[in-house]
Amino acid sequence: MIVSTSPGFGKHGRVPELIAERGWEFITCTDTSKPDGGVSEHIGRADALVVGLVPVTPETLEQGGKLKAVIKHGVGVDNIDIPACTAAGLPVCNTPAANADAVAELAVGLMFSMARWIPQGHVSVTGGGWDRRIGTQLGGKTLGIVGLGNIGKRLAKLARGLGMQVVATDMYPDEAFAAEHGVTFLSLEELLGQSDYVSLHVFGGADNAALINEDTLALMKPDAKLINLARGEVVDLDAVVAALDADRLGGVAIDAYVSEPPDTTHPIFSHPRAVFTPHSGADTKEALENVGLMVIESLDAVLAGETPPRMLNAKELASR
């Protein structure tokens, strides 16, 4: 049996047909009223766990006595306790680059939304108004990409096509890519000071918690816009609200939240220069099919007793 906590797995493109062909018993656990989505009710019978945003904890693994693998339906694995999986002898896999185009394209869409006041214009017209706000063009502006991985690289190419200057910061800078595509690597502090738009594409977790905070926001241009397509904990929302209220930040677009759905009583959700999407960066038919096909490839290997592709703890398991 396959248990999935991802609402997008098994529904797009060829994926449903392939699951049906294999005859897998397949259960989706996405009940938002339960902390684990309902996983605990079925994990004891599961051969594999396909992970969305629900955390995978040692307690989860203790209940999954038949588990053969933990497979992320996506890229970020900060909600998976990989050492606990390794201790349990379970391979952990993900689907790198499968949704890079989708997330990068949403980042561009959010830049246009803020540059041209698109959400506000929609509300004005549908409300019977005619509020024509003066926006700005993206061409000639500087985009700072924090995390130049698969998504960041795709975004860099799209931005260059729009006539933007692109600067980036990354723990492992790909100098060859940067040279080919006209990207300049800077420190985070330099990037924040030079960018008109800052787009976050880093992993979550303790290392990046509150990466954007009162001090780092103070380095940004007062009319700069911030985009968070990473993880909720990467941005200190209280500091963002304070910067917006003081006109030290031009706007913010957020797709990822600490808790999902988020607590909309926070003042950020009523701010007129904030734009929100429901963690939908990877939600295109094409991306969901690509991710699903990669998950099935891993499941096929695991259920056949073979080593799955894209294992994140292969070395650790080999040394046990």
Annotated active-site residue 12? The verdict is: no
Annotated active-site residue 271? The verdict is: no
Contacts of 208 (CB under 8 A, 6+ apart): 202, 230, 231, 233, 234
Token representation of residue 92:
């952990």
* Three-state DSSP class for residue 156: helix
Please tell me the distance from the alpha carbon of residue 38 to that of residue 54, in angstroms, as a whole number.
10
Instruction: List the catalytic residue out of 42, 154, 201, 231.
Output: 231
Closest residue by Cα to residue 166 from 194, 193, 187, 188: 194
- Radius of gyration from C-alpha coordinates of the chain: 21
User: Could you give the angle at the alpha carbon of 102 between the alpha carbons of 277 and 276, nearest 5°?
Assistant: 10
Amino acid at 318: A
Instruction: Pick left, alpha or beta for residue 92 (phi over 0 → left; psi -120 to 50 → alpha; otherwise beta).
Output: beta
The answer to whether 100 and 150 are in contact (CB under 8 A) is yes
Instruction: List the catalytic residue out of 25, 180, 260, 286.
Output: 260
Can you list the alpha helix ranges (DSSP code H) found in 162-284?
Answer: 175-181, 188-194, 214-217, 237-245
Instruction: List the catalytic residue out of 73, 154, 201, 279.
Output: 279
Annotated active-site residue 279? The verdict is: yes
Q: Looking at the annotation, which residues are catalytic? A: 231, 260, 279
